[in-house]
Amino acid sequence: MHRSFLAFGLLFVSLLAVGCATSRQQPAKPAPVAVTPPPKQPTAEETLSYGLGRLIVADLSHYYFSPGEIEMIVMGVQDQLSEPTALSEDDRKQIAMGLQAMAEKRANDRIDEEKAASGVHLAELGGREGAKTLDTGIVILAMSRGDGAYATEEQFLKLHSRAWLRDGTEIVNSFAAGEPTIIQPKYFLPCWKEVLPQVKVGGRAQFACPSDQVYGDQGRPGQIPPGAMVAFDIELLKVLDTPEDDEAKFSEGAADGPPGSPPAAN
């Protein structure tokens, strides 16, 4: 009897152990799947309100607001919506004057920072083997003078151009696009006017220019930061008496023209 009870106990413990092991090996039941309702389709008025927010931010981009300042702007909007308060004329003037002064200071600070960084990069380029730095700060990196003709101020030059910023951001590359441009030398940027008269048709020059030799403190919105240096790779292909002598695109220095032309007047 004692042996039977002991055997039964051992069998029970064995079965319990197997059961526990089996339960541990069984995969856990999957968690219930949360059903996310489809996103609410905004109304026409909500879409317009969203667009207004984007317009406001686009117009304020030149203030270079920090994340903390953006939080304060949102707080001001929320407070004014919850408890509308009329601002006095003096308050409006003080805020407007303060914002204008802040925008000007931040813009000037960014220009100074860009000029300093560009200066460091130009110095590094000027220290490379074979490079030559001119009195204007232009750095000629390489030059093949060519054996064709020189272009006069009133003639037209068909050329390939590539331009990039100090961080390598490419602005234009007609070599890759296979689309040369026609420009009159009188529309050249100052640095082009200094370097390219040394190059004949068939020649090519790579050079880097400080901001005062390209787009200055204005830069080129969406392409070139204010105060930025620009590097160029130019190949002169042909001298023309009129732009109609060739099918390449003619640029008169418009805002959408290549970097070899000055920015359009405001």
- Residue 91 in this model has a pLDDT that exceeds 70: yes
Phi, psi of 236 (to 5 degrees): -85, 125
Class of domain 52-80+92-266: alpha beta
Q: How many residues does the chain have?
A: 266
Q: How confident is the model at residue 26 (pLDDT cuts 50, 70, 90)?
A: very low
Residues 229-262: tens digit of each pLDDT: 999 999 999 999 888 767 666 665 544 444 555 4
pTM of the model: 0.73
User: In this structure, which long-range contacts are made by residues 92-97, counting pairs with CB atoms below 8 Å and at least 24 apart in sequence?
Assistant: none
The label of the residue with tokens 């000027």 reads: 126
Phi, psi of 87 (to 5 degrees): -90, 140
3-state secondary structure of 182: strand
Predicted local distance difference test score (pLDDT) of residue 260: 57
Sign of the alpha-carbon dihedral angle for 33, 38, 39, 40: negative
